[in-house]
Amino acid sequence: CLTLNIYAVNPPASSKQPVIVFIHGGGASGGSALSPPWNAATPLASHAIVVTVQYRMGLLGWLVNPLLTAESPQGSSGNYALMDQIAALQWVHDNIAEFGGDPAKVMIVGHSWGSVMAESLLASPAAAGLFSAAAMESAVFGGGLIGTTIDNAYRWYADVPGAVGCDTAADVLACLRAVPADTLVQSGPNSADTGWVNVDPVVLPEDPALKLQRLGSPVPLIIGSNSDEKAFDNTVFLPALDASGYAAIIHTQFDALAAGAGDTILSLYPATDYTNPNYALSAVESDLYFTRNTRNFARAVSGAQRPPVWRYLFTHTFENPAPQDAFLTLAGAFHGAEGYFIFGSFQTLFTSVPYTPSDAEIALSNEMMGYWVRLAATGDPNGSGTAPWLPYDDASEYILQLDNNIVTLGGYRNAQCDFLSTLPTRGF
């Protein structure tokens, strides 16, 4: 399950190049580095060596079981996907010079669930020293969600042996290991409501979010999200809402979390402020699951005497979708949209029809690639005459808005995020 895809210029540059190691998303149980835009890294590879990682997912990547823990010399089980990524980083450290890369200038970049992996790698002692910069795109795993010991994770997977007919076997582990991989990964407990990362003695001895809040990021960090992360859930594919339908959904979702929460949300996100109530709902849930967690994490890990943090907000809407992709004009800056610009890859979006970026989009892509590559190369995304990107802290809240006109914001939906932060934590 563990393979690396390496993109390098040919012939190699005369000097060692910075390296970007990309970790794909997919909710811990899906996704692939061979899906667009990650599978077409040639534009980004003209500026840096690019490595994309295929790693174990689902039960193959996360199964925690006391029998596995008992047979481990380290008293550990689970986190196999994270171990894969650490093994990949170790391989890059040992071998990337053969491809023209500089092992001292390795940046990890994670998108969605891959961002949670980057967060975990930042906190993992087993990954220390294997990278010099990081970027977390569109996901933060909140603190206090995974318990304090490996025992807390056993319940997440307790029904796995029974689901594949191994619960009554004389040797449960031997039985599990005889189950075809396809059967195992398609079993019920493989779903996203399993525990994902867990505290274990070797790879992740402490809750990653809490450790990073306590100590800060060990390396310079880019972190951000998109303005319309939940657009596909709430805008393109849902029936049109009227104001009363929107209010009903808000009350159902939020009144159970805190008394009067629904009314507060409706006052912070009035339907009249948006194109239609669907967009208001998209804004609420984009902020609930992404913006507030990104803001809270950036606030917690930044500060004096710590490596700098740079926060972005991607707000661009694709300008030239083919008729088959016309729904993209409704989706705005949807979850994953920034990846096409960071990779400079526009061959296909959702259908097989090639996408033709506008001149402004090509310019935006080049600027974004520049920021990411400069962080990998120097530990600072600034330079080359691009718009200055000021470091983030909880006083100034400088955010670089990534769109055709790149500008600096002094905060984004602060009142909304302040209230949302009083509600129970969501994973990402």
Catalytic residue among 112, 115, 225, 286: 112
Q: Is position 112 annotated as part of the catalytic site?
A: yes
Q: 101-111 and 17-23 as β-strands: parallel, antiparallel, unpaired?
A: parallel
For residue 299, the Cα-to-chain-centroid distance in whole angstroms is: 18
Known catalytic residues are 112
